[in-house]
Chain A
Amino acid sequence: MSATNLLVLDGLLVISLVGLAWAALAGSDARRSVILFMAFGLVLAAAWVRLLAPDVALAEAAIGSGLAGALLLAAVQEQPRQPLAARTASNSNPNKPGLSVALQLAVSVLCAALAGTLAWALAHAFNSAPQNALPRAVSSNLEASGVSNPVTAVLLNFRAYDTLLELAVLLTAVLGIFALGPARPGYQAAGPVFDGLARWLVPVLILTAGYLLWVGAHAPGGAFQAGATLAAASVVLRLAGRHQIGLPQGRALRIVMAGGVGTFVLIGLGLLVTGRPFLGYPPAWAGGLILMIESAATLAIAATLVLAFLGGQPRPLAVRVTCGNTSATPGPTGKPASPEGMRGAELRAAEVCNRIPETQKRC
């Protein structure tokens, strides 16, 4: 592409990004903001491609626009039709919150100052000679890493600690979501058009997830992108009103959720026993070990994202049968559900049922 063409392309992309971000942040209609945010994610994916970051573009395409959009839209649909009718009844204009003008001004000035500081730091970074020590270290050690995609090598070999801790963050987040109550109710069975869409979309999504996991070793792709694509398959099934969305139940679900961190730690400890540093793979085995960790991580990430879309602890299938009997039991359970307890499935089911009237009260 010629330099002028590229400049036009960059200009269009940057103007679109800033405009979409501004429009998504302004206004008080949540649904509008979510759709604008999804479009922002789409354009951002194009920008990552332009900046030669196809790995990031893949993740942005799968998570930033697709799954985040689905997640936020599911949250919007729970809100009342009139935007914030109940909560801003005292405020005639939801756009002008009860904050004082002085405070708004102060925050705006501080944010502008932050932008200025960041711009100054960036300008400094751009003007100085590029720091080539890290990229050179990556490319010179790529041979021994077991994979040929430098981003995967960084994520799962050179900086494997980061990824391990990131999986721990995911696990913590999903445990937090569990603690906040049961999942949203499912959807009604879909009509023929949606069902037809789901019938071909789900297998293609699953196939693409497997492909991305496999290809991640030598080309853009990997556990994050594959996990997000796999989660999208479950989300489609959920939206189509299926009961079985491919999410394991009970103990199996817990094993899958903890599997990412677990496999990582077990392999690290195993290496420690054989006299190597924690997560210091022997070069001959590195490829296989990385694929093993990535497979477990893919399943864990997919389970986490699906649970995030469900918005809480999935109800066991048995609840639907027992609910009629147990929901008569009076008494609200004030304390938050503790899903990690030692109770049996029936007790948990009963508790979930008890909590239903309480959660129904939301606006």
Chain B
Amino acid sequence: MIDVLSGLLVLAGVGFYLAGSIGLLRLPDLYSRLHALTKADNLGLGLLTAGLALHSQELLTVLKLLLIWLAVLSASAASAHLIARYARRQETKS
């Protein structure tokens, strides 16, 4: 049961990864690509870590997975903002 659930979560995570990267490749401008990227960062890795955490037995591993996800989550939020602002500044400058 747990195996099935964890497998489904991992697969869903990979799905979001692929969706995010296809969006990054196909969407027309920077800001919409930014939107696609955050899906891969937040949901893709989030679901993946959730699936892996269900799969693992040790508490330390679960905590590490949680830390990694939180790190990527807040780093991607902050860097998405910073990159968008950078692009915005470049636009207004030229």
* Stretch among A116-124, A193-201, A226-234, A299-307 lining the B interface: A193-201
A207 shortest CB reach to chain B, Å: 10
Tell me which residues across on chain B come within 8 A of A204, comparing CB atoms. 67, 71
At the interface, yes or no: B61 with Cβ under 8 Å from chain A? Answer: no
A194 to B78, CA, bound (A): 7
B13 shortest CB reach to chain A, Å: 18
A201 to B67, CA, bound (A): 11
A193 touches B74 (CB 8 A): no
Count residues on chain A whose CB falls below 8 Å from chain B CBs: 7
B49 shortest CB reach to chain A, Å: 16
Q: Which of chain B's residues 56-94 have a Cβ closer than 8 Å to chain A?
A: 67, 71, 74-75, 78-79, 81-82
A197 touches B75 (CB 8 A): yes
Tell me which residues across on chain B come within 8 A of A194, comparing CB atoms. 78, 82
Number of chain B interface residues as a range:
under 10
A114 to B81, CA, bound (A): 46
Tell me which residues across on chain A come within 8 A of B81, comparing CB atoms. 193
Tell me which residues across on chain A come within 8 A of B74, comparing CB atoms. 197, 200
B78 touches A196 (CB 8 A): yes
Q: Which of B67, B71, B78 contacts A193, CB < 8 Å? A: B78
Q: Which of chain A's residues 162-208 have a Cβ closer than 8 Å to chain B?
A: 193-194, 196-197, 200-201, 204
A201 touches B82 (CB 8 A): no
B71 touches A197 (CB 8 A): no
Tell me which residues across on chain A come within 8 A of B82, comparing CB atoms. 193-194
A196 to B82, CA, bound (A): 12
A200 to B75, CA, bound (A): 10
Q: Which of B71, B75, B78 has the most CB of A within 10 A?
A: B78
B88 shortest CB reach to chain A, Å: 13
A165 shortest CB reach to chain B, Å: 35
A100 shortest CB reach to chain B, Å: 37
- Return the 9 tightest CB-CB contacts between A and B, nearest first: A197-B78, A193-B81, A193-B78, A194-B82, A200-B74, A204-B71, A193-B82, A194-B78, A196-B78
Chain B interface (Cβ < 8 Å from any Cβ of A): 67, 71, 74-75, 78-79, 81-82
| 15 sample A-B contacts, Cβ–Cβ < 8 Å, listed by A number | A193-B78, A193-B81, A193-B82, A194-B78, A194-B82, A196-B78, A197-B74, A197-B75, A197-B78, A197-B79, A200-B74, A201-B71, A201-B75, A204-B67, A204-B71
13 additional A-B pairs beyond A197-B75, A204-B71, beta carbons within 8 Å, are: A193-B78, A193-B81, A193-B82, A194-B78, A194-B82, A196-B78, A197-B74, A197-B78, A197-B79, A200-B74, A201-B71, A201-B75, A204-B67
